[in-house]
Every structure is written in C-alpha cells, then in structure tokens.
Structure 1
Amino acid sequence: MFQRHFHARDTDLIIASHPKTGTTWLKSLLFAIVNRFKHPKNESPLLKHHPHELVYRLEQGVYGEAFEYPRPQHLNELPSPRLFNTHIAYISLPESILSSGCRVLYISRNPLDTVVSLYYFILDAMKKILHEEDFIKTSLKDFFEDFYNGRNTNGPFFEHVIGYWKASLEYPDKLLFLKYEDLKKDPVSHVKKLAEFVGEPFSPQEESEGVIQDIIQLCSIKNLKELEVNKSGVFSKHYDKKSYFRKGEVGDGAHQLTPNMVERMNNLMQEKLEGTGLSFECISQS
C-alpha cells in the first residue's frame, strides 16, 4: 500500500535504514535539527514524545494495519517538511520518492552489532505477541544463521546497505549515506552535515552558542533512554517504548557472538562489499 499510494513532496525528509542500525537516534537528531527554531531546548517535543511518535514509519505507522504504530490522522495536512522513515530496500521505494525532490537519509551499521541488536529487539516483541506457553526462545546462534544467510523480514542485510550506498554515489544531492560508527565517533561534524543536507545549516552564531552540542546531548542514547516518556509505555501491545533503547555501543555485538560467528561475518562482509568502495571495520573479540 505504501508503494502504491504514497505521494512524496519535494520538501519531504525520509530516513531509510535496515532495522536496528540507529534509526531512532537519527530520527531524534533530524527532528531536533529541523524544529530547533520552533521550540526552546528545554521545551523540545522530544522531552515528552518518543522519537517514533514524531517521525512516522511509512509502511506501518502511516499505511500499515498490522501494528498500531503512531500515525498521523491526515497525511496531506502535515506541514512541510514532513519527516518519515522506512525500512524498505532502495529498489522497492515508491516512484514518487525516487522522482521527486525529497531527500533521503540512510543510516548503516556494522552487521555484528546490527544482528545482536535486532535479535534482542525481536525477542522482546515475540514475548508479547505469543502467550507464555507458546513462546519458544530462538537462540542467538539460530538467529545469526538466518541473518547470515539473508533470511530477514526486510531482505538480505548487505543488499539493503549496498543498494542505498550505490544510490548515494549516483545521487549525492538526493541521498545522504551515514554510518552509525562515524556518527558516534564524531557527532559534531556529522550533525552539521545533516543540517546542511536538509537545508537547515547552523549559523556561526548558533555554533558559538553551543546549539549543536545541545542537540547532540538532547538526542544522545543515554539521555533519551532516561526520559520518563521512553522508560514506560508501549506501541500497541507488541513493542515497549524502552525496547528501542538498549545499549547503542559500537563493537558490543562481537562480544556476544562466538569467535566463529564473528570471523564468518567479517569474511562475508569483505566478500559482499568488495569493489563497492564501502567498508565497515572488522570487529574482533580482543
């Protein structure tokens, strides 16, 4: 339904990602950047609303019916710029997104951290979907094997990432490709890049007044997970709001997988990304 009926505006800003690669964090950063002139920092809607309540998920929050994600009442009445997100692969995006002037921000993440984060997120949801007597815990080993072999709801991980990577090279004014690890390592320069890409660059005065640092602090995973609005409550009966904030650490995934899993994933990553110009650091358990 999303592919058939969504009509993008030239002013739309769309976050694309594979699940559990930093979507919630990027949503908060984008919202804070775009709306920084509307709200004083101590009155930001992010202090009272979960990021997923402020940036709508297109295939479920707007058009889907399977889960009760936050959704707008009247899509066409939302003021510009409208902020959305999707987990759909680049080749499956609606034509209106590809042909319009709207801009896409894609966030990627090392697959070792992605698979572990996704495992715990889905495990938490399945406990709520199934009755206790019907719930059988999937092992991390089995989940890893499915992920490794491309058996994911949103399609194979590497094909998802590479599709957006190649599009960012072909259409750099249309699609900004980000790495979670780079954003963690140097948030200031990447937040500035985000603001420039969406047409809301920081002025010299804002920079001198510490506006960038204020946004980074507000949207930090540590801060967001401690806000009362994100510590309790659910999205429908399946997703706890707090489940969107686990650790957010770089390299944690490798420490929860066996050495063999880590080696296999690093080898697969090198194989899949060879010749693309894209790379992720091969994380070890040392």
Structure 2
Amino acid sequence: MIQYQSFWFPGYRLFKNTLKSQKHFKAKDTDLIIASHPKTGTTWLNALLFAIVNRDNGNHPMNESPILSQHPHHLVNRLEDVNFGGGFFNQLSSSQLDDLPSPRLFSTHIPYVTLSESIKTCDGCRILYICRNPFDTFVSQWHFYNKVVIDLDGEQTLKPYTFEQFFEDWFEGRILFGPFFEHVIDYWMQSLANPKKVLFLKYEDLKENPTIHLKRIADFVEMPFSLEEESRGVIREIIDMCSINNMKKLDVNKNGLNYSGVEKKAYFRKGEVGGWINYFTPPMIERMDRLMQQKLQGTGLTFKLISE
C-alpha cells in the first residue's frame, strides 16, 4: 500500500490511476457519485441507485432490468478503474466518459480529500456516501480480503490475514483507503456543510427502513417517486430486486470474475447488522469502543451496532 494525503491506497498501478483520476476527471452537473469505505454497502447502493435512475426510461420493465443480468459493479463505473493513462483494469477509457448517458453513475472508495476538485466544485454533481458501523465493516472486510489473495495472473500476492492481525492493522488505520473513521468523518462533515451536495446514508438505517431511505435517495438525485409509482409498488419492487438475498441467487452474481479480477460472489455474503458479535473478543470490543468514542467525539455521528 501507498500512503497519500494521510490515507492508504492500493499498490503502485492502482495508485497511479487514482492520481490521474484526481487530476483529470471532469465532473458534469448531472453526475452522481457513490462514495464509500470498502465493504460498507457499495454494491447494494450501486444496484439501488441504478434502479432508481433507470426506472422511468422506458427501455426495460422491472423484470428486464440489467440488474438481473449484470453485476452491479458493471453497471456503475468505478472512478479508480477509468483509464486516464497507465490504468490497471481499464474498465472504461477517459475518451468514453463523454459518451455515457446522463446522469453518469460512478462509485469510488477514494477519500474526500483525494477526489477531483471538479467533483467538489461542480454545482450539480452529487455524492451519495454510504457507511456502516465499524464492527460489521471490519468483519466484512476481513472476509473479503481473505478471498482476494490472488492477482490477475493467478499468483498469490497476499497472505491470508488472521483475525487478530487484521484487527491490529485496522485499529492503526493501515488498511486500504483507511483510516476508516477519518474516511467516514470527512464525508459526514461535508454532508453537514452542504446537504444538497452530499447525502450521507447509514447501512443500518437502509436495512431497517429501506422505503424511507429509497425515497430520500430519489429526492436527492431529483428523481422523486410519484404517488402513482408508490401506489403501484415500484419502491417495493426495487427493494426486493436489489435485496442481497435476491442478488445472491442471480447466476450473474454467482459465477465469473468482475473487472478487478475478483469473484463476483465475493461481494455477497450475509449483509447482516450485528454479526460482528460472533467474532470480537471482549478486549477487542473494549478497544474498538474506545477508538470509536475518541474519533467520533464532537462530530454528532453515531452508529447502530446491533439489529433491533
């Protein structure tokens, strides 16, 4: 990993492309950007936002949505994967950006400080940030990173983490796109300062009451649900189609690799709130509690740790 602007980024090739994205990406007023720390609900929000934005275009009814035939990470372009020259995955070339239909949908794990200035200053460009409580985030990341131990040539490049090893690195912030709390708090403060620019979403709230928060998302991107749509059950259709239980069953999400060379099924595990309780020892809980209180003090940000 490489440390830059106080955060840790993936190795040289991906980091180089991140720098090029920071310098060369030009936001448009209609752009919608999903930002997140890894394993906090990005895949889910990708699917939900795509469904919301594309529900009225008339090209496909809900039962023919591309979500049913394409992985969510193939429907929403990741900023780090755009080839600005010297890219690694090259999902999309920079010359193709202008050809994307409006609104252009992007996702990123890049911290706020490292985003392109055009994203920050473009009046119409909007950021949807999703976060998850640190305990469940930690467990989800541990499982995920232990599945991603080979590179695109099939060679093992990482040693599997023990839970204890990962905890120490995570606690010190030495994780991809970490430290976690600084990543979350930066976007949280931006959402408070400019709520029309940054919508801050919590995974736990979205799980508990998806209807309310789907309506928040639709209002934020200026594509609100009409009363007629609500009466037809469009919101419930989107929720059910994009649920983790449904997405895990789809063949497209069970087989093959995504653009990053990662098994598609690795992005769908349990999606539960409070599963961390089965992993953390009492001393770990105490240390994480102290760290969370220290980092969040004075921010007004809180997390729900257990499903109620």
TM-score range, shorter chain: over 0.9
Q: How does 1:194-233 map to 2 (within 5 A)?
A: 194-233=217-256
Deviates more, 1:113-122 or 1:210-219: 113-122
| CA shift for structure 1 position 137 | 2.4
Partner residue, 2:81: 60
Partner residue, 1:22: 41
| CA shift for structure 1 position 257 | 2.0
| CA shift for structure 1 position 200 | 0.3
- 3-state SS of 2:140 partner: helix
CA contact (8 A) 1:234 1:241 kept: yes
Is residue 87 of structure 1 aligned with residue 114 of structure 2? no
Partner residue, 2:11: none
Q: Aligned-pair RMSD on alpha carbons? A: 1.9
- 3-state SS of 2:149 partner: helix
**Equivalent position to 1:31, from 29, 38, 50:** 50
Partner residue, 2:267: 244
Looking at structure 2, the residues matched to 123 and 52 of structure 1 have their Cα atoms a distance apart, in angstroms, of 20
Partner residue, 1:46: 67
**CA pair 62-19 structure 1, distance change in 2 beyond 3 A:** farther
Partner residue, 2:297: 274
Q: Write the letter of the residue equivalent to 2:149.
A: M
| CA shift for structure 1 position 237 | 7.1
Q: How does 1:181-196 map to 2 (within 5 A)?
A: 181-196=204-219
Deviations 1:214-273 (A, max 9, x none): 000000011111100000000257300010111110111231122211221122111110
Structure 2: segments with no counterpart, 5+ residues: 1-19
TM-score (norm 1): 0.93
Looking at structure 2, the residues matched to 153 and 58 of structure 1 have their Cα atoms a distance apart, in angstroms, of 16
Looking at structure 1, the residues matched to 96 and 306 of structure 2 have their Cα atoms a distance apart, in angstroms, of 45
Q: State, as a whole percentage, how many aligned pairs show the same letter.
A: 57
Deviations 1:13-34 (A, max 9, x none): 0000000000000000000000
Deviates more, 1:265-274 or 1:239-248: 265-274
Is residue 235 of structure 1 aligned with residue 258 of structure 2? yes
Q: How does 1:44-193 map to 2 (within 5 A)?
A: 44-63=65-84, 67-68=88-89, 70-71=91-92, 74-100=96-122, 101-127=124-150, 131=155, 136-193=159-216
CA contact (8 A) 1:52 1:70 kept: no
Deviations 1:140-163 (A, max 9, x none): 110111011111221200000000
**CA pair 237-152 structure 1, distance change in 2 beyond 3 A:** closer
CA contact (8 A) 1:16 1:106 kept: yes
Instruction: Count the aligned residue pairs.
Output: 283
Looking at structure 2, the residues matched to 26 and 123 of structure 1 have their Cα atoms a distance apart, in angstroms, of 23
Q: Write the letter of the residue equivalent to 2:48.
A: L
- 3-state SS of 1:260 partner: helix
Q: Write the letter of the residue equivalent to 2:184.
A: V
Looking at structure 2, the residues matched to 122 and 66 of structure 1 have their Cα atoms a distance apart, in angstroms, of 22
Structure 1: segments with no counterpart, 5+ residues: none
Q: Write the letter of the residue equivalent to 1:148.
A: F
Partner residue, 2:16: none
Deviates more, 1:222-231 or 1:58-67: 58-67
